[in-house]
Amino acid sequence: MVDGKSQSLFKDKPIKVLLAKPGIDGHDRGMFVLAKAFRDAGMDVLYAGLLPTPEEVIDTAVNEDVDVIALSLLNGAHLVVFRKVADLMKKKGIDDIAIVGGGTIPDSDKPKLEKIGITGNYGPGTPLKTIIDHITERAAEARSRKLGIA
């Protein structure tokens, strides 16, 4: 699932992902499933705990030097809340951390999220492999920028 180029990117340090639910939302079953699946796929996984603010999510991501922030919401507030995270990242000039999303996101909202750099946006029932491949792809972009080889 990781191609040759990615393999060398992550040889010394595996993909590091921060899972976060940045809104007022306690639906965390999917997060825990993903945490285990990412770990089984060899990634380094952090969970931001419940109810972090967008500021806290970004602070953790920067301090922990993650490649990807994976946001999840199942309360219908993804457009507002995911955007807050993306805007804050932009404001802080951070471009070497990718953001992906997931949860109950209607198809019609996906282009809006992609426009602000939040990709994936998978719903329940998505195969784990699809998500892992997507994270790997986004992590490769982020890591390349970090290493200045993009």
Partner 1 sequence: MNDVSSFWSEKLKKLDERDKTGDPAYASWKREVLGKWRKDSQEKEYTNSSSMPIKEIYLPGDLEGDLAGRLGLPGVFPFTRGIYPDMYRGRYWTMRMFSGFGTPEDTNSRLKYLIQHGESGLSIAFDMPTLYGYDCINERAEGEVGKCGVNVSMLKDMEVLFNGIDLGKVSTSMTINAPAIVLLAMYMAVAKKQGVPLDSISGTVQADILKEYIAQKEWIFPPEVHLRMIRDMMVFCTQNAPRWNYISISGYHIREAGASAVQELAFTLADGFHYVEMGKAAGLSVDEFAPRLSFFFNSSINFFEEIAKMRAARRIWATVLREKYGASTERAIMLKFHTQTSGYTLTWQQPLNNIVRTTIEAMAGVLGGTQSLHTNSYDEAWALPSENAVKVALRTQQILAEESGIADTIDPLGGSYYVEWLTDEMERQAYLYFDRIEKAGGILNAIKTGYIQKEIANTSYRRQLRIETGKEIMVGVNRYVEENEPPIKILRISRKAQISQRKRLTEVLASRDQERVRHSLEKLEGAMKDENENLMPYMIDAVESYATLEEISNVGRKLYGGWKEPVIV
Q: Which of residues 55-114 bind partner 1 (CB under 8 A)?
A: 75-77, 79-81, 84, 104, 106-108
What six digits make up the tokens of 22? 């940045």
Percentages helix, strand, coil for the chain (3-state, rounded to 5) are: 45, 15, 35
- Looking at the Cβ atoms of 60 and 140, the one nearer to partner 1 is 60
Among 1, 33, 147, 150, binds partner 1 (CB under 8 A): 33
Q: Which residues, other chains included, contact 40 with Cβ-Cβ below 8 Å and sequence gap of 6+?
A: none
Q: Does 127 bind partner 1 (CB under 8 A)?
A: yes
Amino acid letter at 12?
A: D
Q: Does 14 bind partner 1 (CB under 8 A)?
A: no
8 A C-beta contact, residue 18 and residue 69: yes
Least separation, in Å, of the C-beta of 121 and partner 1? 12
Assign 12 to helix, strand or coil. coil
Residues that bind partner 1 (CB under 8 A): 23-26, 28-29, 31-33, 35-37, 39, 45, 47, 49-51, 53, 75-77, 79-81, 84, 104, 106-108, 123-125, 127-129
